[in-house]
Amino acid sequence: MFRPLSTGAGLALLLAVLAPAGFAEVTTLSGLALVQVEELRFGSPGDSSVVSDTFPGTSGELPLQVAASLVSSDPNLPAAAAAAAQFADPRTLAQPNPEEFAINLALASRSEHVRYTAHATAQETRGVRFAPGELSPGSQAGDQVELMGRLFLDGALAVFAPHAEADLRDASVRLHVSIVKRTVGEDDETLFDGEIELVGLPNGMARVGARGDFPVAQLVQTDLAAASDEFAAFSVLILPQLDLDYPYTATVGQPFELIARLEVEAESPAGDAGVAAVIGTPVDALGTVIGLTRDKATAEKFLAALERERANPTGEPAFPRAQAPLLGLCGLFGFESLLGLLALVGLGSGLRGARRRPAA
């Protein structure tokens, strides 16, 4: 909900001059959740699975929860991929950081000939209108006001392998976040557009990268190999409860839309390695995939190490020359500690998903 200067804000707006403000009218709400996983076998496309859901299009209720997974049929060279995405109703979620979006994926293979790609998207489109007198006493229809929004983001990206000298050049996981303001009769205005990535290198190493508006001063890169008996190469990029601030202009009485879109693109290498992304959600996909390609005990240790690092990062600044951003004063579009997704292999009720087993 829109609650300027309220500690219960999920989608909060704030006048730059800190004028008193009331509740904005949410005129419309729609959402999208989409996941796709694809197998590459001997360098050529193999099996794939694509699952999507929209509100109020293909689904009449929220939350939207979709999942897709692939599992290799070769027991001697296990490989698996799983991805899930969620869009939940921000009007009914706990505040101040509403749990609208979640993306959770993992790709891993022990085969020299099988690798995976994955794409996951969660999107919200929210119609908004401020009535006269709502943003400040005496405000009239047609007045322009400067507002500040904030997007809450929390999660981790990981690249891992059991061998310290693993060639990880085909491993990558990228997070792209955008927010667009759309007004009838006007060009779309991009309010925020940024991307971060964790990319594998030779000798079990990985590098970080960032483009666009993403604030990088708080990002932490950690080597968790020492915390794992199974993975001698284990690079993690931590997003520790980031606040992504952006300004924009609204016209009193004029309806507009805010479109928030979260996307993750991932590729895993062949030959005993994997990648993972956990954005604001429990790590169901990671446990499933690592359990299938390793064993349950290894999966539990992997998850424990990753969750400890998310809760209390021990690594170094990923971008040590970056300056820490000034903290803002209001919230918009929450992305943190989301509702749990169901298991991704052996899908439960309430989760729209698909799984296909490729031929041996």
Tens-digit pLDDT profile for residues 244-257: 888 999 999 999 99
pLDDT given at position 337: 24
pLDDT given at position 52: 97
End-to-end CA distance of the chain: 50
pLDDT given at position 35: 96
Give me 303's structure tokens: 């998850």
Burial 243-273 (b: 16+ CB within 10 A, else e): bbbbebebbbebebbbbbbbbbbbbbbbbbb
Give me 346's structure tokens: 């052996």
Burial 196-220 (b: 16+ CB within 10 A, else e): bbbbbbeebbbebbbeebbbbebbb
Mean pLDDT of 264-285: 85
* Cβ atoms 26, 126 nearer than 8 A: yes
Share of the chain above pLDDT 90, in %: 44
pLDDT given at position 224: 84
pLDDT given at position 287: 65
- H helices, E strands: number in the chain: 2, 17
Please write down the HEC assignment for all residues of 197-232: EEEECCCCCEEEEEEECCCCCCCEEEECHHHCCCCC
* Cβ atoms 338, 265 nearer than 8 A: no
Would you list the DSSP string of 239-301? EEEEEEEEEEEEETT--EEEEEEEEEEEE--SSSEEEEEEESS--HHHHHHHHHHS-HHHHHH
Round to whole Å and give the CA distance between 59 and 49: 19
Looking at per-residue confidence, does 10 or 142 come out higher? 142
Looking at per-residue confidence, does 187 or 22 come out higher? 187
Round to whole Å and give the CA distance between 159 and 272: 12
Q: Where on the phi/psi map is residue 336: left (φ > 0), alpha (ψ -120 to 50), or beta?
A: beta
* Cβ atoms 179, 199 nearer than 8 A: no
Distances (CA, A) of 12 to 8, 29, 202, 326, 331: 9, 16, 45, 18, 5
pLDDT given at position 133: 81
* pTM (2 d.p.): 0.79
Mean pLDDT of 76-100: 77
Tens-digit pLDDT profile for residues 127-184: 999 888 877 788 889 999 888 888 888 889 999 999 999 999 999 999 999 999 999 9
264 Cβ contact list (under 8 Å, min separation 6): 103, 105, 118, 119, 120, 173, 174, 175, 176, 277, 279
- The highest-confidence range among 10-24, 28-42, 300-314, by mean pLDDT, is 28-42
